[in-house]
Amino acid sequence: MSDHDFVSGSKPIGLARGEGPSLYTADGTEYLDAGASFACTPLGHSHPAVVDAIQEQVGELTFVDSSFPVQSREDAYAAFVAATPDGLESAWFCNSGTEANEAALKFARSATGESKIIAATRSFHGRTMGALAATWKDKYKEPYEPLAGDVEFVPYGDSEALADAVDDETAAVILEPIQGEGGINVPPAGYLETARELTDETGAALVFDEVQTGMGRTGSMWACQNAGVTPDVLTTAKGLGNGLPVGAVAVRDWIADGAASHNATFSGGPVVAAAVHATISTLVEEEWPAHAAEVGDYLVDKLEAALGDAVREIRGEGLLVGIELKRGANRVARDLAMNHQVLALPAGRTVLRLLPPLVIDEGEADRLVEALTETVAPEAASES
Ligand code: PMP
């Protein structure tokens, strides 16, 4: 490893190329992407189907206003709606996860005619005035207040608290089916069903933010499918264009019928649409969500066996994995990068999150386990 690979001793610099689950510096040093592409490349880096689709589209037509039909956009729309859970029949494209949530909350308010938004403690939905208002961390919010109003927080995973909060004046309940930024928190069984029942009773819109959990990561195309619950509004982004900036909102008919307009110039432009179409088609046809379930189980079993008491907890679904550490996650992420050429991100102070591309194989999972064992459980590593 050459000196110039690291800045401030913590992050590799000069990443110049990606292929599959690997990233390379200009001088050819390889890193395993265990989450530094932040769930944005489910098919791995430079997947040929996506690269070809983007290149072809750029050469044909880079942009025209979305009020004019363009084939790549029509294809992306059809593929996205087909890939969303049954019951979600129409969709909008937008430019990010934040904008998807912003639109979702607006649609919920206009479709219900109510204003109260219920969000969860430790949630993250984005950093614009509306999405930020439904985000938990005060640190992100205080400098910018007042944000959009009428947001109430309930403890994530607590069905009774949710039942106390949801009423006839509720426009939306917005939840991550598994919380990402909050520390990879999996709610207790039955929680999402309770949210569904409560919103059905009062007429509020149930919004699932699948920005981090979606696109096959949890072993199903959408994490809510693991719980068998379909929301009224599903938002996604990150992996949707395998690395291009694009988000989407899928809705039930009653939301579509009651939604006032939301749009932005670049929404679903021809190039990102080509990426979305190629990404979804490849994920579905090659069954990468099922692969994520298998490799995810393999990875978590091996991690549990190898790390044992050296960590507090390992949790998640598929290839959305959080490791609750006994020490700072930043430091562990740094050691993994510096000593093992593995790139991962913290999710909060003590949780290391693993979000590798879904295409990792068991050999790469083994490499990840070995690197983590040497980093957080060196005694176990020297015994084996
Ligand atoms: N929702 C969730 C659950 C997220 O994890 C994120 C990004 N970390 C967002 C929304 C915001 O998405 P974006 O950064 O694309 O605006």
H helices of the chain, where?
A: 48-60, 71-83, 97-112, 129-133, 138-141, 159-165, 191-202, 223-227, 253-258, 270-285, 288-307, 329-340, 362-376, 378-383
CB contact at 8 A, 175 and 135: no
User: What residues have CB less than 8 Å from 89, skipping those under 6 apart?
Assistant: 81, 251, 252, 253, 256
pTM of structure: 0.96
CA dihedral 103, 132, 227, 164 (to 10 degrees): -110
Count, in order, helices (H) and strands (E) of the chain: 14, 17
Question: Which residues, judged by CB distance below 6 Å to any ligand atom, belong to the binding site of ligand 1?
Answer: 96-98, 101, 124-126, 176, 180-181, 209, 211-212, 237
CB contact at 8 A, 190 and 156: no
Residue bearing tokens 């693993």: 354
**Cis preceding linkage at 146, omega within 30:** yes
C-alpha of residue 1 to centroid of ligand 1, in Å: 33
Q: What DSSP string describes 7-33?
A: ETTTEE--EEEEEBTEEEETT--EEEE
Q: Say how far apart CA 240 and CA 276 lie, in whole Å.
A: 6
Distances (CA, A) of 298 to 195, 309, 354: 31, 19, 14
For a substitution probing ligand 1, which of 129, 211, 233, 266 has the most ligand atoms within 8 Å of its CB? 211
Cβ count within 10 A of residue 384: 9
C-alpha of residue 97 to centroid of ligand 1, in Å: 5
Kindly report, as residue ranges, where domains of CATH 3.40.640.10 are found in the chain. Answer: 48-285
Structure tokens at 237: 């982004």
- CA 158 centroid distance within chain: 22
Kindly report, as residue ranges, where domains of CATH 3.90.1150.10 are found in the chain. Answer: 3-33+288-383
Q: Say how far apart CA 278 and CA 47 lie, in whole Å.
A: 10
C-alpha of residue 270 to centroid of ligand 1, in Å: 23
CB contact at 8 A, 191 and 208: no
211 annotated to a ligand binding site? yes
Specify the residue with its C-alpha closest to ligand 1, atom 14: 97
The number of the ligand 1 atom at minimal distance from the alpha carbon of 38 is 8
210 annotated to a ligand binding site? yes
80 annotated to a ligand binding site? no
CB contact at 8 A, 170 and 202: yes
CB contact at 8 A, 210 and 177: yes
C-alpha of residue 210 to centroid of ligand 1, in Å: 9
CATH match for 48-285 among 3.40.640.10, 3.40.50.970, 3.40.50.800, 1.10.10.10 = 3.40.640.10
C-alpha of residue 241 to centroid of ligand 1, in Å: 14
Q: What is the per-residue pLDDT across 260-299, written as a single tens digit (0 to 9) for each?
A: 889 999 999 999 999 999 999 999 999 999 999 999 999 9
98 annotated to a ligand binding site? yes
C-alpha of residue 95 to centroid of ligand 1, in Å: 11
The number of the ligand 1 atom at minimal distance from the alpha carbon of 99 is 16
C-alpha of residue 305 to centroid of ligand 1, in Å: 32
User: What residues have CB less than 8 Å from 10, skipping those under 6 apart?
Assistant: 330, 334, 337, 338
Residue bearing tokens 């999996």: 186
For a substitution probing ligand 1, which of 102, 135, 181 has the most ligand atoms within 8 Å of its CB? 181
Specify the residue with its C-alpha closest to ligand 1, atom 10: 125
- Nearest-CA neighbor of 274 among 282, 284, 286, 264? 282
Q: What is the per-residue pLDDT across 227-242, written as a single tens digit (0 to 9) for each?
A: 999 999 999 999 999 9
C-alpha of residue 212 to centroid of ligand 1, in Å: 7
Looking at domain 3-33+288-383, its CATH class is: alpha beta
Beta bridge partners of 248: 93, 236
Q: What is the per-residue pLDDT across 352-380, written as a single tens digit (0 to 9) for each?
A: 999 999 999 999 999 999 999 999 998 87
SS3 label, residue 242:
coil
**Ranges of residues in the chain whose predicted pLDDT is under 50:** 1-8
176 annotated to a ligand binding site? no
For a substitution probing ligand 1, which of 93, 124, 222 has the most ligand atoms within 8 Å of its CB? 124
Residue bearing tokens 């190039």: 271
For a substitution probing ligand 1, which of 122, 212, 249, 267 has the most ligand atoms within 8 Å of its CB? 212
235 annotated to a ligand binding site? no
